Chains A and B, each alone.
Chain A
């Protein structure tokens, strides 16, 4: 199950950064090492939140400082980096982070999921299945799944330690009671390795099944909350549900109007001032690859 040796990328040690005055990947080596230690621990206890000494980054909290620190700690010179925001490679946040790492690491970047060795993401998992050897880095705003019901960190830690997860089901119960179905659409809580309850970051529920038994290593970083957690490759990840209200993902009665995909997560886009809308893939790489392969959605929805 381990990736081939040539794929394992040992982060450069003390190598001068391409950007004068900065260490490789911005963070100093001590910091990277401490974050890697937290990551190792996180991998050893899947789904369990590990505190780490989150640093000030040259951007504000909420812009992915946790994810960036994790990326900075694991990135090596031979990595190929992809950054997506809401599935898109070309949004401001994604472009900025990609440019940041290009400057401080001079690594190769890509928009192709298949070519990337390291993917930092906000709010999506690519449609193209992940491979063994790839690393996903998730930007996490709030890591604690039980926070909504229990404000005390001491208490939530105890609840995790003792697997007291009943209160989390209260939330699902309330969903069904109010909406007739589990309405939680993003950040849908999961059980990792049958042990720890985890927030998968605000990815759509649609992406939850991709977490399960994924061949990629999945790392989660919360900068403001100073927490790191991980799902090692091939780990069981189960979305919470009730026996009579099983977990299900969103589906659309439409296809992407660019590529015609019916199996991907669709965004609704307003296209003019008259309320005109269209449905397109949220994963821009997936969509453009399909288009270049000759798929065309324009006829499908007519």
Chain B
């Protein structure tokens, strides 16, 4: 009936959805260039024609040196960065949706149920206890606070997060503690697709093992995972394949 905000000016609306249902995620020909208007309009091309398809139960590692675009790619898959060109097909409620084409409330819905993201850093909300922050995704899905917190408590226990921290705001927590809250938050929901941005970076050996176990569990449940792992051991243990990025020369 009318035009509501255009989010991806360059996204191509005419792409037909894939036919096959053997994949969970199909990224086709992604392009992304950052334009820094306040620094003389510098153009930084980061992605130029990247494609990736992931099946259920697969874990794909994104590799490459710093600045090669793997983090941009991962964020693009979540819709956090808006690509200039290409298609990101996600199997959402058994139907293919093209992420760059979604209007905001559809993308919110897809993020609620279909695609999860473990970021490196926890966005701390002042005054809100760790337990509540981690329980938010489940509560968004309509679970009661008690139900959601029960799930989180069990994850916190697995991740050896001391119970005395649960009811505190994580503002003053260490990096490792914050990361475990983040992991509990993302692993509490059974997302069919899960994106991991260095999930073990600040964890000790014990907790790293716990995360590896969590990832393995997800894989066996048919989750499609894509991650950046700086820890070679973790990567080799959980990943089925590797997509390697190389930096683009800045034209």
Touching in the complex, A and B, CB below 8 A? Answer: no
Seen from chain B, the residues whose Cβ lies within 8 Å of a Cβ on chain A are none
By a beta-carbon cutoff of 8 Å, the part of chain A in contact with chain B is none
